[in-house]
Structure 1
């Protein structure tokens, strides 16, 4: 059944991307499913890219293989995967670092983050650690 679902999903994503003129990223939970998706895509779909687009695609592929790409999605998309929302993230960062959470009634969200950045020297590492705790893919 996984193969049938993957085939339908790949076909739907490809058709939608073509019809809407957008790029689509399919995220898989493991290497086996990723390999199956790549095989299915290569067997059934071929896109004609001009030289400049092919050069960009090759560069992005190299960066992806090296682990140098990151997804940035809108607010709320990550919550379905079990990642914390903004206020929960701030609270968890403050708790991990033994600092007080900036008062949300006095400071907007971005100001709260800037205050935490000043109070937590390794903020990026702390955020990465919290994000790494979750490995559940989300349909979003």
Structure 2
């Protein structure tokens, strides 16, 4: 059973060690990311699989399923399924996947909102985590 992020999607990502299955649109992903455009194109095994079968299952065992689910929901306009705030370590997981798949531009407004919505931090370890996420997202201090 797949979680339909995109009803009628043509590819199923099997994510993380848990094997969480998410049905998504390859067109949305190809338009969002040059990395995914290549991966799902004809020159890679994943893209060949997509050409030959509907709802091709593509395994992404090293990716964090919670972070990638959030990213995929944003890319597919499923903002009703995206939390407004979450822990800094999850922001770091999302940022790492944005770096891996070159998704900084399509997720810019989302991650700015997430960082702006972070509660006032007094714990130094949590502050370091948020600073790490801001670094991954390539944010600069205004000025």
TM-score range, shorter chain: under 0.3
Question: What is the TM-score when the length of structure 1 is the normalising length?
Answer: 0.27
RCO higher in 1 or 2 (8 Å CA, sep ≥ 6)?
A: 1
Structure whose alpha-carbon radius of gyration is higher: 1
More strand, by proportion? 2
State the TM-score, normalized to the length of structure 2. Answer: 0.26
